[in-house]
Amino acid sequence: MDSGVTVVTCPYVDVRLTSTISSFEVKRRFNRGITIAELKGKLEMIVGSASSNMELELFSVSDKFLLKMDDNEALLGSYPVDDECRIHVSDRSGGQADNFTDVSKVEKFEISDQAYSKRTDSARSFMKNMRVGQYNEEEVAKKKAELAARREEEKAAADAISVGNRCQVQVPGQPTKLGTVMYVGTTDFKQGHWVGVKYDEPLGKHDGTVDGKQYFECEDKYGGFVKPQNVIVGDFPEEDYGLDEM
């Protein structure tokens, strides 16, 4: 009795591809109706091997070897290829994985700085002609002047702060903190002038030591460094947090 049910096999199959040319696995969809020769032609652009050098092996979903796909006239669908099966491409010419990705094997072209400066077709020559970046003398001079002005402003602010001053620290985007100035001057960890502060609460980042160098002493997480412009000195008494109350 005819049940009226027709089973239709999907004309396409999604397979995983690996090869001796690349260490990467990729996934592609192919029509089951193409021949193995046609499949190899499509694989040329994917794995980087000539179809004439290819040997194909079919593996199951669990990567168990099934068989060699060595009949160029056979249809892909004539092999037991299911979704997520793996087709491994071996290059008989001797191509190996990473031959195209290992830059250590690529011959390097080197040129002296003096010779490079004489070239008229280089990026440096273009930047010079267009007065871009470091080759824009006016822009470079302007930036140097701005940096010098900021340094002077920073130093003037630092000169008005002394070790032992009570202070209020106001850094944009952070809560206001109270503390005591413990250090004023330059540092090894960053250029410019800095103020080392021992906060009244554990709102800092360290104990006065940065990158192995001790600038002042305090309890861990009570110390911090800020720019002089963010420090206001004045009569800021320590708040009583009720730690001695019974």
The 3-state secondary structure of the chain reads CCCCCCCCCCCEEEEEEEECCCCCCEEEEEECCCEHHHHHHHHHHHHCCCHHHEEEEEECCCCCEEEECCCCCCEHHHCCCCCCCEEEEEECCCCCCCCCCCHHHCCCCCCCHHHHHHCCCCHHHHHHHHCCHHHCHHHHHHHHHHHHHHHHHHHHHHHCCCCCCEEEECCCCCCCEEEEEEEEEECCCCCCEEEEEEECCCCCCECCEECCEECCCCCCCCEEEECHHHEEECCCCCCCCCCCCC
Q: Residue 212 sits in a domain of what CATH number?
A: 2.30.30.190
The reported pTM is 0.46
Which of 49, 74, 91 is at the close of a domain?
91
Inside any domain, residue 143: no
Per-position pLDDT tens, the chain of length 246: 454 544 446 899 999 999 988 888 999 999 999 999 999 999 998 888 888 999 999 999 999 999 999 999 999 999 999 999 999 999 887 655 455 555 565 567 777 888 877 888 878 787 777 777 777 788 878 888 888 888 899 999 999 999 999 999 999 888 999 999 999 999 999 999 999 999 999 999 999 999 999 999 999 999 999 999 999 999 998 876 555 544
Inside any domain, residue 217: yes
How many CB atoms are closer than 10 A to CB 125? 15
Q: Per the structure, how many domains does the chain have?
A: 2
Segments forming the whole domain that contains residue 68 = 12-91
Give me the sign of the Cα torsion angle 224, 228, 231, 234. Answer: positive
Q: What is the pLDDT of residue 224?
A: 96
Which of 91, 112, 132 is at the close of a domain?
91
Q: Residue 16 sits in a domain of what CATH number?
A: 3.10.20.90
Inside any domain, residue 227: yes
Inside any domain, residue 187: yes
Which of 32, 58, 91 is at the close of a domain?
91
User: How close are the terminal C-alpha atoms of the chain, in Å?
Assistant: 93
Inside any domain, residue 120: no
Inside any domain, residue 151: no
The distance of Cα 77 from the centroid of its chain, to the nearest Å, equals: 43
Query: What CA–CA distance (Å, rounded) separates 55 from 51?
Result: 9
Inside any domain, residue 139: no
Inside any domain, residue 201: yes
Contact (Cβ atoms closer than 8 angstroms) between residue 56 and residue 20: no
